[in-house]
């Protein structure tokens, strides 16, 4: 359901994480950096729309706060390409 929402908002999928390859982890950092506003929009939709379970809403709230945290944004920018 969350992946479908992300696809409907930005026509993209979040890259999957590989535990052994740094380049795959950097793809995630770059994806979040490049699509921060899209992720924030998705998190807002999850918080505002009915039909989402409490855990998902709570996680969306936490991730939205993280994407608005100046220290997190500094390191996100620092580690992105």
Mean pLDDT of each 10-residue bin along the chain, 81 residues long = 69 55 72 92 91 93 97 95 78
pLDDT value of position 16:
55
SS (H, E, C) 21-77: CHHHHHHHHHHHHHCHHHHHHHHHHHHHCCCCCHHHHHHHHHHHHHHCCHHHHHHHH
Q: What is the pLDDT of residue 62?
A: 97
Contact 18, 8 (CB under 8 A): no
What distance in Å separates the CA atoms of residue 73 and residue 33, rounded to the nearest whole number?
8
Tell me, what's the pLDDT at 24?
A: 57
């Amino acid at each position: 359901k969350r992946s479908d929402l992300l696809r409907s908002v930005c026509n993209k999928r979040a890259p999957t994480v590989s535990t052994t390859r740094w380049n795959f982890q950097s793809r995630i950092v770059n994806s979040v950096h490049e699509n921060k506003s899209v992720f924030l929009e998705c998190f807002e939709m999850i918080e505002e729309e009915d039909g989402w379970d409490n855990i998902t809403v709570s996680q969306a709230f936490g991730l939205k706060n993280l994407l608005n945290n100046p220290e997190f944004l500094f390191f996100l920018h620092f580690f992105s390409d």
